[in-house]
Chain A
Amino acid sequence: MEKYVLKVIDLSAGYSGNWVVKNVSMDVPHNKAIAIMGPSGCGKSTFIRCINRMHEVVPGASVKGKILLEGEDIFEMHPVKLRRRVGMVFQRPNPFPTMNIYDNVLAGYILNGIKLKKEEKDRIVEQSLKNAFLWDEVKASLYKKGTFLSGGQQQRLCIARSLAMNPNILLLDEPTSALDPKAQAMIEELITELKKTVTIILVTHNRAQAARVSDYTAFMFLGEIIEFDDTAKMFTAPKDKRTEEYLTGKFG
């Protein structure tokens, strides 16, 4: 097994020749939670969208550099195959409004036209919802529309939907910024549980959240990674002056 689940080597990404992410390199170990924090517009979302190649979906997008997923170059993989191994949860909860909760969990299989036996489906749905701390709340209403759930429940449903595909990596793009504090706390608890089995890369502009849930933190500023270190170390003794200023709230 590779030492790192993900190796980012000199990655730059942008739109129409305008580089938003500049020469980023990063090694991500297995089954850890990595937080990427920084002020808005620093390129952190663009960066993680490169990891599942969602960045390329936007017209005019450009990218250079290398990303290795367990040693394989992701830019040589088919994006469809890559995205089954790298799940993503978005800022705003986005369960499919035309599907019920059960089908939402299985959406990855349904969309990809993968046929499963009924027992297998039941097992995946139950397991994924349990892993996402949602099973007890929805087990009685699996066949109701997912859009009737609360914001926090919808976001956990989206996490369950990603987990159902058994990804190596789960990308979370500010997953709690549209949620109330209680729902946020629940998602954070979920993240600390999930990292036992899957590598988590979390984008956040919430410094406290990064400190609470992550093992490693990267501080991004103007498209560059200023510092990438053990979370405890970075928050107690940042090496770079800009990191220190950000952590103490001087900007962003």
Chain B
Amino acid sequence: MKGDRLFRIVLWIVAGLFSAMMVFMLASLLKESLPSIKAFGMHFLYGKEWNPVVDKFGLLPFLVGTLITSVLALIISVPFAMSIALFLGMFSKGGFWPKILGYGTDLLAGIPSVIYGFWALFFLVPIVRNFEMKAGIVPYGVGIFTASVVLAIMIIPYISSISKEVIKLVPRDLIEAGLALGATDLEVAKDVVLPYCRSGIVAGILLGFGRALGETMAVTMVIGNSNSLPKSLFAPANTMASVIANEFTEATTTLHLSSLIQIGLWLFILNAIVNVIGMLIIKKMEVK
């Protein structure tokens, strides 16, 4: 039909525009970071020093900071997220409190990150500082560990709500088959349900990881903003996103600004890599 064709053309144009947008963004990031690419070349990637005063810029401290905080956040959040997902997706038989818990975790995903940062600054940081004093570490309070905990709390709703949905999709038949063989609920969860939805769960975890990589505001507020390579889990540091947020207003030289933009470019690439790896894993793990 004529209307159908028009509709299809409109959809094509909208989708095309959006993809073009991405290409355009990538191109402009690339263009703006050219001065720093020319100045440092590949050295930018493994340069350990970030010193605006002498116009020397290297990405490594922030790359390390980003990866450590994100991975640590995953390690902390996955057990919690899985427990919530299994409870809501498989064990709870409905009713008032499970529903409240479900809405509650979903609501956590909607809280603006500046509020997380604020909360962490006034609640989490003193606790960590106390612990550091007792443990005999320099009591900054802020640093990698604090940032990771905040990130973990922020990504739990993402991982748990996706995992909950895929757990709900496990055929009732299979769960009953497991139970009828004399397996306990825990054994069915571990050997039937989780293997069946592993690809969906991995997708949820990677979504959480992607979010942790790029999270800016909350991390900037509690990571301590130090531009040197972190020496311990409790040391102040910076992530790629937090250094951009922290310094872009005060970047006066072209090279400084261009280096910050190049960090943005690499963050973009890092996220893309995580996404591609994620898709490959999901494809490989799919239950046929």
Could you tell me which A residues sit within 8 Å of B by CB distance?
A: 52, 54, 57, 59, 80-84, 87-88, 90, 92, 94, 96-98, 107-108, 110-113, 145, 147, 158, 161-162, 165
Cβ–Cβ contact B187 & A52, under 8 A: no
B180 within 8 A of A: yes
- What's the nearest-Cβ distance from chain A to residue B44, in Å? 45
A111 and B173: CB pair below 8 A?
no
A220 to B171, CA, bound (A): 29
Kindly provide the distance from the CB of A37 to the nearest chain B CB, expressed in whole angstroms: 22
Is B38's CB within 8 Å of the partner chain A? no
The answer to whether A90 touches B182, judged by C-beta atoms less than 8 angstroms apart, is no
Interface string of B170-181 (1 = CB under 8 A from A): 010110111111
Find out whether the CB atom of B180 lies under 8 angstroms from the CB atom of A96.
Answer: no
Question: Which residues of chain A are near B177, meaning CB under 8 Å?
Answer: 90, 94, 96, 107, 158
The number of inter-chain residue pairs (CB within 8 angstroms) is: 72
Task: Tell me, yes or no, whether B47 is within 8 Å of chain A by CB.
Answer: no
A233 to B187, CA, bound (A): 45
Contact A112/B287 with A90-B177, A92-B173, A98-B196 known, Cβ cut-off 8 Å: no
Residue numbers in A under 8 Å from B192 (CB-CB):
96, 98, 111
Q: If the complex has contacts A90-B177, A96-B174, are A111 and B196 also in contact, measured as CB distance less than 8 A?
A: no
Task: Give me 24 A-to-B residue pairs in the complex whose CB atoms sit less than 8 angstroms apart, sorted by A's number.
Answer: A54-B176, A80-B182, A80-B183, A83-B181, A84-B182, A88-B180, A90-B173, A90-B176, A90-B177, A94-B171, A94-B174, A96-B177, A97-B196, A97-B288, A108-B182, A108-B183, A110-B191, A111-B187, A111-B188, A112-B181, A147-B288, A158-B177, A162-B180, A165-B182
Chain A: CB-nearest residue to B178: A111
- Min Cβ gap A88→B in Å is 4
Distance between Cα atoms of A84 and B184 in the complex (Å): 11
State A110–B93 Cα separation when bound (angstroms).
26
What residues of B have a CB within 8 angstroms of the CB of A145 in the complex? 288
A175: shortest Cβ distance to chain B, in Å? Answer: 13
Other A-B pairs, 8, CB within 8 Å; known A84-B181, A111-B188: A54-B179, A80-B182, A83-B180, A94-B173, A96-B177, A108-B181, A111-B178, A162-B181
Minimum Cβ distance to chain B for residue A151 (Å): 14
Q: In the complex, A162→B26 CA distance in Å? A: 58
Q: Tell me whether B181 and A98 are in contact (CB under 8 A).
A: no
The docked-state distance in angstroms from the alpha carbon of A145 to that of B195 is 14
User: Which of B180, B187, B196, B288 interacts with A54 by CB under 8 Å?
Assistant: B180
Residue B94, interface by CB 8 Å: yes
Contact assessment for A57 and B188 in the assembled complex, using a CB-CB cutoff below 8 Å:
no
> Are B180's CB and A52's CB within 8 A?
yes
Is A111 in contact with B181, judged by CB distance below 8 angstroms?
A: yes
Are B181 and A57 interface neighbours, CB within 8 A? no
- Assembled-state Cα–Cα distance A165/B177 (Å): 13
Which A residues are in CB contact (< 8 Å) with B93?
A: 59
> A107: which B residues are within 8 A, CB to CB?
177-178, 181
> Complex Cα distance A82/B183, Å?
11
With CB as the reference atom, state the residue of chain B lying closest to A83: B182
